[in-house]
Amino acid sequence: DTGVSQDPRHKITKRGQNVTFRCDPISEHNRLYWYRQTLGQGPEFLTYFQNEAQLEKSRLLSDRFSAERPKGSFSTLEIQRTEQGDSAMYLCASTSLGVGETQYFGPGTRLLVL
């Protein structure tokens, strides 16, 4: 299967700890997105990469959040000094260059901050 993969699938951490999530997009996809989904809500955009360049960040992405995509392949999303409000599903999606292309989603990383 060559779909979008995310690791870990579940993460439980204590408030104040740092966590890092990884996303491996579909191999030929240039664009990579991170979204956050809280219970009962639709996903909300966090940030976007085209190849290795981070081109857009949501105001939801506080300075405790940082994302990278070295070499334009996999991406990592790090949350420093986690807070209980960070508990959510973090979704990664990828797509090829082109107008209006379908985004393909990974299974997500579910974060619980105690």
DSSP assigned state of 101 = P
DSSP assigned state of 39 = T
43 binds other proteins (CB under 8 A): yes
Site for other proteins in 73-92 (CB under 8 A): 91
* Encoded tokens for 31: 């664009």
Segment near other proteins (CB under 8 A), from 17-25, 43-51, 63-71, 75-83?
43-51
Segment near other proteins (CB under 8 A), from 16-24, 68-76, 77-85, 105-113?
105-113
From residue 10 to residue 29, the character string flagging contacts with other proteins as x (rule: CB under 8 A) and all else as - is: --------------------
Hey, how many other C-beta atoms are within 10 angstroms of the C-beta on 38?
A: 13
- Do the beta carbons of residue 9 and residue 107 sit within 8 Å? yes
